[in-house]
Amino acid sequence: MSYNFDLFIIGAGPGGIAAAKQAANYGKRVAIAEQEAIGGTCVNRGCVPKKLIVYAADIALQDKIAPSYGWSECQRHFNWSKFIAKVYQHVESIQKSYLETLQKNGVELIRQRATFIDPHTVEIGNRKITADKILIAVGGHPNKPDIPGIEHAITSREMFQLQQLPQKLAIVGGGYIGIEFASMMNAFGVEVTLMDTNELILDGFDNDIRSSVQKGLIQRGIQFLSKTTVKEIKQSTQGLQLTLSGDTEETITADTILVATGRVPNTKHLGLENAGVELGEKGAIQVDDYNRTTQDNIFAVGDCISRVPLTPVARTEGEAVAKTAFGDNPQQINYDYVTSAVFARPEAATVGMTEEEAREKYNAVQCYQTEFEPLLYSIVEQKEPTTMKLVVDSPTDRVLGAHMVGERAADIIQSLAVAIRKGITKEDFDATIGIHPTTGEEFLTLD
Ligand SMILES: Cc1cc2nc3c(=O)[nH]c(=O)nc-3n(C[C@H](O)[C@H](O)[C@H](O)COP(=O)(O)OP(=O)(O)OC[C@H]3O[C@@H](n4cnc5c(N)ncnc54)[C@H](O)[C@@H]3O)c2cc1C
Ligand SMILES: NC(=O)c1ccc[n+]([C@@H]2O[C@H](COP(=O)([O-])OP(=O)(O)OC[C@H]3O[C@@H](n4cnc5c(N)ncnc54)[C@H](O)[C@@H]3O)[C@@H](O)[C@H]2O)c1
């Protein structure tokens, strides 16, 4: 049977675009459907605009320590709307370059929503398109708790479209998104209250890292309510009123409420039932080790499979699917050493096993840890300690995980990840001569 395309991709985020490029490199006929902006969550309402806001917020933090470095105090004014317009200029330039890449590779982009008619056919606008293989890379969207008044709360998506900065921001959820926005908004002078149902923020990270970031944020002036959630939101004359439950049972007010309580896969109304594609837990698409769904010719990658919802992972999975479908060697992904970072101040980054995970899996685990004041803060009043931790399997001396909170944690952990993935030992760390004076060199002298 002849199909219109060798590969049809639903969703032009990092996962879909990576697969499109790789399949086109094999000389395959590829089309990609996108219902919104090319680049997906990461480019348009995630990593990219977020990191630019982090940079803007860092300027405010640098201003705070500048007088200790001999700079005169100055009053600067931050213009959010001017700044966010610049951010979106950059986002558009990325969209344009993605578009050029797709065109250069001969990939047809169809700017509409696609749904399944059968395992080889999708409906898109008034077209029916057939393909030998189909990749689902539809991403996810924010989960909003089902409570009265939730329509008054916004999600990360709307945070990027604010007309002006809030004065009082309440954040529900202390995961990646809640923590990053809490940190950025606090730096801009916004009064931030953050709540989480857990005792500690950043579920899934090493416990020492979680408490170190939490301490750092509280020190910066963020009000943290642990084991607390919101059960009702009402509009009042003082603003939005949040009725809390859990450890803190009171009413607080805010002018903006951000809910950041996780994300859910975009798998509804996709016609998956017409294609024999089954869902697993929490609406995520079920896939095997090769990202193949329950239908042989259909694959799924990225946030819609809820494995590790990060951009580099979606990209790697997209490439791997194209290699599996059209190359000589089927590709499986090793998720053991996926690095990740929370771009808060203080910044947190991690690779490999947490102490808790290592102790469950290995009999003799030794942790090497330090907390110190980095040179940058040595001559300023405000203190911001750095935490570093190595998790080691004692009998083999192999480093199982590295974790850090502090300046440039993401870049430092990123570099260590290469060595740790290759099986480096604690002795290898000790034998390495560092660069002085840097923060990273402290990883080489832990005892
Ligand atoms: C606020 C925020 C900050 C983040 N920061 C980071 C970070 O710093 N680092 C990091 O690694 N990750 C970060 N992430 C996560 C990252 O954005 C995602 O993991 C990544 O975008 C997932 O890629 P994807 O291709 O699976 O899906 P997406 O990027 O979500 O792309 C899916 C695309 O599919 C389209 N689509 C959906 N259904 C259809 C349909 N039926 N037809 C046509 N098109 C469809 C959507 O419009 C979307 O464009 C962040 C996420 C958020 C929300
Ligand atoms: N820097 C990055 O790489 C980055 C940045 C942003 C987002 N992301 C990705 O996006 C995903 C989603 O982020 P997220 O922060 O929305 O989710 P998350 O899963 O990281 O965190 C959700 C938090 O909300 C809390 N929570 C859940 N329900 C609650 C409730 N009713 N009341 C109070 N607290 C509640 C949880 O305990 C948890 O701490 C992340 O898992 C991550 O993969 C990555």
| For the CA of 45, the nearest ligand | 1
User: What band does 11 get if pLDDT is binned at 50, 70 and 90?
Assistant: very high
The yes-or-no answer to whether 5-141+264-326 and 346-444 have a common fold is no
Axis-axis angle for helices 47-65, 80-104 (nearest 10): 140
| For the CA of 284, the nearest ligand | 1
262 touches ligand 2 (CB under 6 Å): yes
pLDDT attached to residue 74: 83
Point out which residues pair with 192 in neighbouring strands.
169
Sign (positive/negative) of CA torsion 54, 56, 61, 62? Answer: positive
- The rounded distance, in Å, linking the Cα atoms of 143 and 155 is 9
pLDDT attached to residue 385: 84
Please provide the average confidence, as pLDDT, over all residues in the chain: 97
266 touches ligand 1 (CB under 6 Å): yes
Peptide bond into 437 cis (omega under 30): yes
Peptide bond into 142 cis (omega under 30): no
**Mean pLDDT, to the nearest integer, of 392-419?**
98
Å from CA of 10 to ligand 2 middle: 25
pTM to 2 decimals? 0.98
Count CB atoms within 10 A of the CB of residue 229: 19
- The rounded distance, in Å, linking the Cα atoms of 367 and 355 is 7
Nearest protein Cα to ligand 2, atom 17: 262
Range list of H helices, 27-155? 40-45, 47-65, 80-104
To test the pocket of ligand 2, the residue of 261, 281, 304 to mutate (highest count of ligand atoms within 8 Å of its CB) is 261
139 touches ligand 2 (CB under 6 Å): no
Sign (positive/negative) of CA torsion 318, 321, 322, 323? Answer: positive
| Domain spans in the chain, listed from the N-terminal domain onward | 5-141+264-326, 150-261, 346-444
- What DSSP line would sit under 260-319, residue for residue? -S-EEES-TTS-HHHHTPPB-GGGPBP--TTSB-SSTTEEE-GGGGTSS--HHHHHHHHH
pLDDT attached to residue 27: 97
178 annotated binding-site participant: yes
Nearest protein Cα to ligand 1, atom 19: 310
For the stretch 125-152, pLDDT in tens is 999 999 999 999 999 999 999 999 999 9
CA distance to 142, 161, 307, per residue, from 261 (Å): 8, 19, 17
Amino acid at 45: R
CA-based max dimension of the chain: 74
Cβ(274)–Cβ(114) below 8 Å: no
CA distance to 94, 102, 162, per residue, from 323 (Å): 25, 18, 41
CA distance to 185, 209, 346, 397, 422, per residue, from 426 (Å): 38, 20, 26, 6, 13
Query: Does domain 150-261 sit in CATH 3.40.309.10?
Result: no
Point out which residues pair with 367 in neighbouring strands.
391
User: What band does 382 get if pLDDT is binned at 50, 70 and 90?
Assistant: confident
Q: Which residues contact 158 (CB under 8 A, 6 or more apart)?
A: none
177 annotated binding-site participant: yes
Nearest protein Cα to ligand 1, atom 38: 138
- The rounded distance, in Å, linking the Cα atoms of 392 and 358 is 8
Helix/strand/coil for 405: strand
pLDDT attached to residue 184: 98
141 touches ligand 1 (CB under 6 Å): no
| For the CA of 291, the nearest ligand | 1
303 annotated binding-site participant: yes
For the stretch 170-222, pLDDT in tens is 999 999 999 999 999 999 999 999 999 999 999 999 999 999 999 999 999 99
Query: Does domain 5-141+264-326 sit in CATH 3.50.50.60?
Result: yes
174 annotated binding-site participant: yes
**Which of 215, 220, 221, 185 minimizes the C-alpha distance to 200?**
215
To test the pocket of ligand 1, the residue of 41, 143, 261 to mutate (highest count of ligand atoms within 8 Å of its CB) is 41
Determine how β-strand 30-33 pairs with β-strand 108-110. Answer: parallel
CA distance to 10, 136, 307, 343, 351, per residue, from 33 (Å): 5, 10, 23, 31, 34
Å from CA of 42 to ligand 1 middle: 5
For the stretch 225-239, pLDDT in tens is 999 999 999 999 999
Which CATH code fits 346-444? 3.30.390.30
pLDDT attached to residue 426: 98
Helix/strand/coil for 350: strand
Q: Is position 120 annotated as part of the catalytic site?
A: no
